[in-house]
Structure 1
Amino acid sequence: MSEAWVLHPDRALPAGELRPLAKEIYAATAGLPLVSMHGHVDVGVFAQDRPFPDPAQLLVVPDHYLVRMVISQGQVSLPQMGVAPVDASAEVEVEQDPRAIWRRFCEHWHLFRGTPTRYWLEHELVEVFGVTRRPSAENADDLFDELSEILRRPEFRPRALFERFGLEIIATTDPATADLAQHASLAAEGWGDRVVPTFRPDPLLHVDRADWRGQLGALSEVSGVDAGDYEGYLAALRQRRRAFVEAGARATDHGHLLTDTTQLPAREAARIFRAALTGEATAAEAQAFSGHMLFEMARMSTEDGLVMQLHPGSLRDHDAGLARAFGHDKGYDIPIGTEYTRSLRPLLEAFGHHPNFRFIVFTLDETTFSRELAPLAGVYPAMKLGAPWWFLDSPDGMRRYREAVTETAGFYNTSGFVDDTRAYPSIPARFDLNRRVDAGYLARLVAEHRLEMDEAIETAVDLAYHIPKAAYPPVRVPAVAG
């Protein structure tokens, strides 16, 4: 390829007669600030504001989409992509050379054709870093050197990119046991309203996890509340939620496999808790307890105002052997079919009309968009339908989402886009893609005379900016009693 690599300005916009309409709609949103209310960029990236180490550690290793695709061909292993085993003494040769990791990525560039990963990577390389050559085995080393030099520049440090990306706010995802010290440090430097935590208590709600009792000890230590019995456990969770609110949190996040929200009698919940402490809780009891705790998390949200996000339906660590060897989230997470209508009924009957409850539900099972989730979001005031995420945040996945949910839930019972990524430089690419897809969908409504152009532009702006801000409002810090 002799010509400089450039991206087409109309990429991901519809073809034919819809394109001029879509371009006009997209132009109204392209420059809007990014409201990134659900992602997984580590807070330390912003608190420390250090230069990124190298292209491989920035663009390759933390991107699970990318790593999965490379190893899917069976020619490259996780250790060859720089993923180390949990047991440091294991006799596994782990690639330590970031240049070699980068080279393997470039050699497999063709695997990403037609994938959203390709779209994001193109945007990152061309629009963010100014690369003018498409990755290949032949130019991998040259690109590594070029990007390494770029990453040493001050304008490519995390906070500088924050400004350049047009980020208005970003929410990190933090364990319930986090001490939030780095968020406090950011707040002291004037970043407290721009980088906010999200309360993620999953390891504490699943009593059959191998590390659950260790998590309880950490909860007791950080909260100052003895979580050794059920009542203390609930009190400690409430204390941590309050600490998150005081640190600027706007939401909780729950990544359960299933969506059951059946409330247990308090005595039964306490009994299962005690059984779990001695390792005697059955799998069925553990599942019942986790569903009960989703109900309790909703109750606590009515008390403290944190938006409750539910991200179910991912069977974690499909390859148990790899998970044991390399840790959680390294054994391939795979979507499953998920039921919502009956499972969410206890929670929505109790809190679906509560004035202080906001509930955003996501799915990896797109068959439920029109059958279950849009009808639920289209009637319960507390519930909003989350954006397509993970395996569905693709051009066609986003389009199918709008086609499936709009006729029942409309636009204003959805939450706005979330990037759901650890790959920091990909954030503007993901938002840009979503805005282009929404512009294309709205353009079709205009072409079919189902919307006027002024309505389509207003809706696009709302979807890109106003709706996510309204879906994740600031939480009032409660007054201290006495």
Structure 2
Amino acid sequence: MTQDLTLNPDRFFSPDPARRTLARALYQSVKDLPIISPHGHTDPAWFADNANFSNATDLLLVPDHYVLRMLYSQGIPLDALAVARKDGGPAADPREAWRRFAEHYYLFRGTPSRIWLDHVFGEVFGLEVRLSTDTADLYYDTITEALQTDAYKPRAILDRFNVAFLATTEGALDPLTHHAKIMADGWGERVVTTFRPDDVIDASRPDFAGNIARLGEITGEDTTSWRGYLAALRDRRAFFKAHGATASDHGHPTPLTANLSDSEAADLFEACLSGKADDARQELFRAQMLTEMARMSLEDGLVMQLHPGSVRNHNRTLHEAFGTDKGADIPQRVSYVDSLKPLLDVVGNDPRFQLILFTLDESNYARELAPLAGHYPCLRLGPPWWFHDSPEGMLRFRRQVTETAGFYNTAGFNDDTRALLSIPARHDLARRMDARFLSDLVMEHRLAEDEAFDLMTELAVKLVRKAYKLPMD
């Protein structure tokens, strides 16, 4: 038995009629504004090659770690979902994997994944019945057939949903071949890269020494020395900036920073490179490198983003069999006030520097992050991230940070997604939740109505452009 797929036009607004009416008007004022997506993990090859996607499973199921983690938590093995093993072992046929996904779609009731996927199914592919065992083949065929048309090529999708700016994320050693092609095709101001140097500044990685050697080969610098290593990083930052980068991104386990002397930093680098540094010394090196990256941001103008608090690849067995980004990254508690002080003592008062902070530890919002961003001119608060990119997460964020940091010390919205078609869904949800929050403030006489409409435009497009130093038009 099939059920209708219904996307209520007033979804996520208050059930109170007056608040709902105002939220609807606020949302309508920005719903068609361009989408600015300054931080994400979509594949640049999509936009360089502009080739058709193969099928529904490869586009919507296999890359989505939110979906994979829920299904895996219910005992469904990843190879049954067409996820490839590192050893080349067999994975399920894409259609069979989709059928298994449809059979278990009920697991996503009440989750953000359900919100995003239903939006994609209804708004992008025009499906009018709910995904279920009975409709699995209808979905698979409808989506897969649509993906073979020109209208669903990656660049056409960006045009269709008015994605005016999109950043991908690449490691420091990436040759940026795809971005070179994107630039050659005249798309270089619309799809850009982001500099993610974790591969060459995280000494706990088993490939750290090899990566440093490769860094030296690429740049022609002596990366066995501290000064040569820093020069090589400056060289790579310049290379990324030449390919459109406006920001760097740092996914460290903690936000710890340090400000060692030059000789102390050189000794620490030597210990890390030789494999003699223990866990504490490796953490200190990451801390020092955040401060070094901040100094370099003063030189080249790249906006700095810090995404701490995730224990990556927590499930060792899964990581060994399938690799990274399979839904086994888990949040942990972190602290910002003491951790960031060494960096802020160096660059925190310099108006040329901009650091956008994210968290997976929501207990930090009111206690640490909002007071920090409400004082230091270099700090902006990134939107609710990862597990908190949800209706309740967005409301918790606004309620906990606004009274201390205000709206203008936040960085708008970014979707941080690997799933191309979830971009319009996520931005639509963010705009709806901001409309709801602002309508509450107006109805409680804490904000004038005209100010709420001004803020909707700020939150949808202007603040994110300012935070990432993008053109305002």
Name the TM-score, length of structure 2 as normaliser. Answer: 0.97
Aligned counterpart for 2:308 among listed residues 305, 312, 315:
312
CA distance in 1, matches of 2:321, 2:211: 21
Equivalences, count: 470
CA distance in 2, matches of 1:392, 1:4: 28
**What SS does the aligned partner of 1:342 have?**
helix
**What SS does the aligned partner of 2:91 have?**
coil
CA distance in 2, matches of 1:200, 1:2: 45
Note if contact 1:386-1:415 (Cα within 8 Å) is conserved in structure 2: yes
- 1:389-448 C-alpha deviation (Å, 9 max, x unpaired): 100000000001000000000000000101000000000000000000000000001001
**What SS does the aligned partner of 1:384 have?**
strand
CA distance in 2, matches of 1:134, 1:2: 7
Note if contact 1:261-1:295 (Cα within 8 Å) is conserved in structure 2: yes
1:64 and 2:65 matched: yes
**What SS does the aligned partner of 2:421 have?**
helix
CA distance in 2, matches of 1:331, 1:46: 25
Instruction: Using the TM superposition, name which of 61-70 and 11-20 deviates more.
Output: 11-20
Corresponding letter in the other structure for 2:175: D
- 1:62-85 C-alpha deviation (Å, 9 max, x unpaired): 1100111111111x1122122223
**What SS does the aligned partner of 1:308 have?**
strand
1:55 and 2:51 matched: no
Corresponding letter in the other structure for 2:193: P
Aligned counterpart for 1:144 among listed residues 140, 163, 172:
140
1:166 and 2:167 matched: no
Counterpart of 2:362?
366
**What SS does the aligned partner of 1:168 have?**
strand
Shift of 1:112: 0.5
Counterpart of 2:460?
464
Alpha carbons of 1:162 and 1:421: their partners in 2 closer, same or farther (altered >3 Å)? same
Shift of 1:272: 2.3
CA distance in 1, matches of 2:374, 2:253: 24
Instruction: Using the TM superposition, name which of 355-364 and 316-325 deviates more.
Output: 316-325
Note if contact 1:384-1:413 (Cα within 8 Å) is conserved in structure 2: yes
- 1:361-413 C-alpha deviation (Å, 9 max, x unpaired): 00001110000000000010010011001000000000010000000000000
Shift of 1:226: 2.9
- 1:321-365 C-alpha deviation (Å, 9 max, x unpaired): 222222233371000011001101111121111121011000001
**What SS does the aligned partner of 1:343 have?**
helix
Counterpart of 1:284?
280
Note if contact 1:323-1:331 (Cα within 8 Å) is conserved in structure 2: no
Counterpart of 1:379?
375
Q: Which structure 2 residues correspond to residues 83-482 of structure 1 after superposition, within 5 A?
A: 83-88=83-88, 92-95=89-92, 97-330=93-326, 332-474=328-470
- 1:139-175 C-alpha deviation (Å, 9 max, x unpaired): 2122211111111110010000000111110011011
1:81 and 2:81 matched: yes
Note if contact 1:248-1:474 (Cα within 8 Å) is conserved in structure 2: no
Structure 1 spans left out of the alignment, 5+ residues: 476-482
CA distance in 2, matches of 1:322, 1:182: 29
- 1:11-61 C-alpha deviation (Å, 9 max, x unpaired): 111211310010011111101100100100011110010001100010011
- 1:102-146 C-alpha deviation (Å, 9 max, x unpaired): 111101110010000000001101001111121111221222111
Shift of 1:87: 2.9
CA distance in 2, matches of 1:86, 1:158: 27
Corresponding letter in the other structure for 1:458: D
CA distance in 2, matches of 1:218, 1:14: 55
**What SS does the aligned partner of 1:22 have?**
helix
Q: How much identity, in percent, do the aligned residues show?
A: 50
Note if contact 2:358-2:382 (Cα within 8 Å) is conserved in structure 1: yes
Shift of 1:93: 3.8
CA distance in 2, matches of 1:273, 1:211: 15
CA distance in 1, matches of 2:398, 2:457: 15
Note if contact 2:170-2:196 (Cα within 8 Å) is conserved in structure 1: yes
- 1:75-101 C-alpha deviation (Å, 9 max, x unpaired): x1122122223233xxx5422x11011
CA distance in 2, matches of 1:195, 1:217: 30
- 1:198-252 C-alpha deviation (Å, 9 max, x unpaired): 0000121111210112211322232232322221111110000011111111000
Counterpart of 1:39?
40
Shift of 1:3: 6.4
Corresponding letter in the other structure for 1:295: T
Note if contact 1:316-1:331 (Cα within 8 Å) is conserved in structure 2: no
CA distance in 1, matches of 2:144, 2:221: 47
Note if contact 2:47-2:154 (Cα within 8 Å) is conserved in structure 1: yes
CA distance in 2, matches of 1:425, 1:178: 25
**What SS does the aligned partner of 1:38 have?**
coil
Corresponding letter in the other structure for 2:350: H
**What SS does the aligned partner of 2:138 have?**
helix
Name the TM-score, length of structure 1 as normaliser. Answer: 0.95
